[in-house]
Amino acid sequence: MGLAVAQSITAADDLRLASVWVRDAHAKSRFEGQDEVLVSRDIDAVVRAADVLIDFSLPEATAAVLGAAVRHERPLVCGVSGLSSEQQGLLDRAADSIAIVYDRNMSLGIAVLDAIVRRAASALGGEFRVEIHETHHVHKLDAPSGTALKLGEGVAAARGTDADAIDYKVERRGEVPGEHAVVFTSASEQLRLQHSVTTRQVFADGALRAARWVRDQPPGRYSMREVLAVD
């Protein structure tokens, strides 16, 4: 995703790729010829060169990214999935000092779906059983997906219940970028709310939308629902 984000920034009329944090020489070679871009293993130098940070790396890098963002007071867009409760705590503490947009899915459509699902869960009440169906490519390791868990947490928050009680249906096939459906079923009717991704470019597009928005926000932790003002 990092390369897709970098390419999207370069293609945007109102944004400029200032710097890239890389782990090795192979990654650095992808940016050869872009002399105006700082490409470095020195995270502090990379952060100082930028106005807004976008992180799609790995959970193992989260502490380092957050530390540098706080040291240099740079707002952050974080789309790293699979964060532990301890790493989530690091996000919360960093948000006391800087503005952070964190979301397990940067898609604009998922942000809207999340808001709709919360309203539906609250309105329909506990007599409707909830299932969350998700389908991804065969290479995806986590199951249920972070997005499915996010939607389940939204249902639970709207109902004041435990997210662990929600039934998840998981499928892995082909090269499917991502499909999610939240199904509300009662004895007499069924409501299905769903979203599908045709290309992973949607995540880069969402990250850039969040980066434009977060630069002007006060310290705090935000999600894509706040970015789109759909709460």
Active centre residues (catalytic): 136, 140
Angle at Cα 155 formed by Cα 87 and Cα 228, nearest 5°? 70
Pure H helices in 72-200: 85-94, 108-124, 146-159
CA distance 140 to 105: 14
Residue closest to 201 by CA, chosen among 4, 30, 55, 54: 4
CA distance 177 to 181: 14
**Contacts for 122-125 with beta carbons within 8 Å, 24 or more apart?**
122/158, 122/159, 124/184, 124/186, 124/191, 125/159
Neighbours of 73 (CB within 10 A): 11
Q: Are 172 and 135 in contact (CB under 8 A)?
A: yes
Q: Are 18 and 37 in contact (CB under 8 A)?
A: yes
Residue closest to 70 by CA, chosen among 49, 88, 53, 87: 53
Task: Give bridge partners of residue 40 from the DSSP assignment.
Answer: 21
